[in-house]
Amino acid sequence: MRIRLVLEYDGTGYCGWQLQRPGEDSIQARLEAALAQLFGQPIRVTGAGRTDAGVHALGQVAAFDAPRQCEMAEVARALNALLPPDICVRQAHPAAPGFDPRRNAWLRVYEYRILNQPTRSAFDYRHSWHIREPLDLAAMAAAARQFIGEHDFAAFRTQGTPVRSTVRRIYLSQWSTEGSRLTYRIEGSSFLRHMVRTMVATLVQVGRHRLGLAEVQALLRSGTRGQAPAAAPAGGLFLVGVRYGLNSGRLYERTPC
Amino acid sequence: MRIRLVLEYDGTGYCGWQLQRPGEDSIQARLEAALAQLFGQPIRVTGAGRTDAGVHALGQVAAFDAPRQCEMAEVARALNALLPPDICVRQAHPAAPGFDPRRNAWLRVYEYRILNQPTRSAFDYRHSWHIREPLDLAAMAAAARQFIGEHDFAAFRTQGTPVRSTVRRIYLSQWSTEGSRLTYRIEGSSFLRHMVRTMVATLVQVGRHRLGLAEVQALLRSGTRGQAPAAAPAGGLFLVGVRYGLNSGRLYERTPC
């Protein structure tokens, strides 16, 4: 039977969702090790998004084929007993045969957190980008709105990754604030590698008045990497959730945000 | 000149505020090392509360004598560059000569955080006590109110610590909730060792219906340790702030809560 898991993890100590080089420690490897222990045989998992080293998840979705019938609550409980404290299973559900968390995903939700205050924090340093100088939030919000719609995001990806198309559809791109905490939320069909972090770095340059709205527009139109700022630090980024359509048995089912 | 610092720290990796045994790593030792580097000579600091191993602070207060005149913003900036990422200086202020953060304190504020949900969290495990089963919050709130006032807290302290008196005055003792996050807040003149964590463990037993209000009342009257439950885990406890009176130059000055 195919099972879909919703995972939460603190990516600080990991090389990312996927193993890049032998000897590294990935979320996927930890999950596969726990599943092998649980079922007594090697089990392969697929994830919805390949989060990079240091990137976190509140609602990563993964799927695997269980070699026997099992109770969902029992799978979650057993995996949580086997996984390290910084990775946990929030939900386990039966999935349609052949359910592919990556290909079947309709929408991915990411958040990027910034701590915008003069002094750093002893608690948030793994989970936010600390920026001391005040940022122009109105300008950042206006620039963020420019990303909504269908655009060629070639300027915002890591060079050299082979992809069929660099056109992506963005449904939501907005900032919210709570005291000195700024959160950027973006919802899109899918994302290119380093795309969200490069967009955040670009918006922060707008907030510092080092880039204007017209320059962001030009970046979006240019289609070439190199002019956009370097990606924002990994620690501020969270894969908040993934939504699926009818093909996985639920309409706009949403992982906890 | 005497300087007062307000410190924030994640106590997870430390043996507590104070060094207990040689070879251990304490917040105080890290702060004194940073000060020695900054001023080029050994400097002794005094803290308002001796937080235990694994206990955190949002507003610990410490003081030291600087060997030369210095600018407060510069002291904070320099120390934050020298301290590890899980310790930081939030404020630096000139203090009255002889200011003693421990003896001059009027009020200490602690918070204890509980994550009350079936599944654990990959983010909160260092900063809260995870309790799976539902708790009776109304009963816990009623029991918490019994602590308000002047009582002999001998039943809630760690045995063997020599203290002049075990009577303490509690001004506030209450629970608040935000979704599955429960926070217990207590304000008092001062606290005995392990007192807050033992009170929290007692209140949780009330929430599990294993202790009644009358039994908590009896514990408060008994004056002997041994009947109260073992202290709640250190990771959930935060020293939120310390308030001072006129003798330190400010009336009811309050550290960030």
B196-232 pLDDT per residue, tens: 999 999 999 999 999 999 999 999 988 776 688 899 9
Collect all residues with Cβ–Cβ distance below 8 Å to B165 and sequence separation of at least 6: none
CB contact under 8 A, B76 and A123: no
pLDDT of residue B240: 96
> What value does the mean pLDDT take over residues A21-35?
92
Model confidence at A254, pLDDT cuts 50, 70, 90, reads: very low
**A52 noted as active-site residue:** yes
Residues β-bridged to residue B177: B182
- B121 contacts on A by Cβ (under 8 Å): 8, 88
Q: How far apart are the first and last CA of chain B?
A: 27
Distance (Å) from the C-alpha of residue B29 to the closest C-alpha of chain A?
17
Strands B56-65 and B237-244, bridge-based pairing: parallel
Nearest to B87 among A80, A85, A122 (CB): A122
What count of CB pairs under 8 Å joins A to B? 46
Q: Looking at mean pLDDT, say which of A108-122, B159-173, B232-246 comes out highest.
A: A108-122
> What value does the mean pLDDT take over residues B120-143?
96
Residues of B tagged active-site? 52
What's the CA gap between A210 and A207, in Å, rounded? 8
Percent of chain A with pLDDT over 90: 79
**C-alpha distances in angstroms, B198 versus A136, B53, B121, B183, B231?**
47, 15, 24, 15, 4
- Comparing alpha-carbon positions, the chain B residue that sits nearest to A78 is B119
- Comparing alpha-carbon positions, the chain A residue that sits nearest to B132 is A77
Q: How far apart are the first and last CA of chain A?
A: 27
**Three-state DSSP class for residue B40:** coil
Model confidence at A225, pLDDT cuts 50, 70, 90, reads: low
- Of A2-6, A48-52, B121-125, B161-165, the range with the lowest mean pLDDT is B161-165
- Comparing alpha-carbon positions, the chain A residue that sits nearest to B8 is A122
> What value does the mean pLDDT take over residues B38-57?
95
CB contact under 8 A, B123 and A90: no
CB contact under 8 A, B121 and A88: yes
Whether the complex's predicted ipTM surpasses the cut of 0.90: no
Q: Which residues of A touch B (CB under 8 A)?
A: 8-10, 56, 76, 80, 85-90, 119-123, 125, 127
For residue B106, what are its two tokens?
């009027």
- Comparing alpha-carbon positions, the chain A residue that sits nearest to B58 is A122
Other C-beta atoms lying within 10 Å of the C-beta of residue A198:
23
Distance (Å) from the C-alpha of residue B153 to the closest C-alpha of chain A?
32
B200, B135 contact by CB (below 8 A): no
Other C-beta atoms lying within 10 Å of the C-beta of residue B148:
16
Reply yes or no on whether the pLDDT at A257 is more than 50.
no
- A89 contacts on B by Cβ (under 8 Å): 119
Nearest to B122 among A8, A119, A120 (CB): A8
pLDDT of residue A160: 65
- B88 contacts on A by Cβ (under 8 Å): 119-122
Nearest to A86 among B10, B85, B122 (CB): B122
Nearest to B9 among A80, A89, A122 (CB): A122
**Domains of chain A by range and CATH?**
2-103 (3.30.70.580), 105-239 (3.30.70.660)
Catalytic residue among A52, A86, A136, A152: A52
Model confidence at A246, pLDDT cuts 50, 70, 90, reads: low
pLDDT per position as a tens digit, A134-152: 999 999 999 999 999 999 9
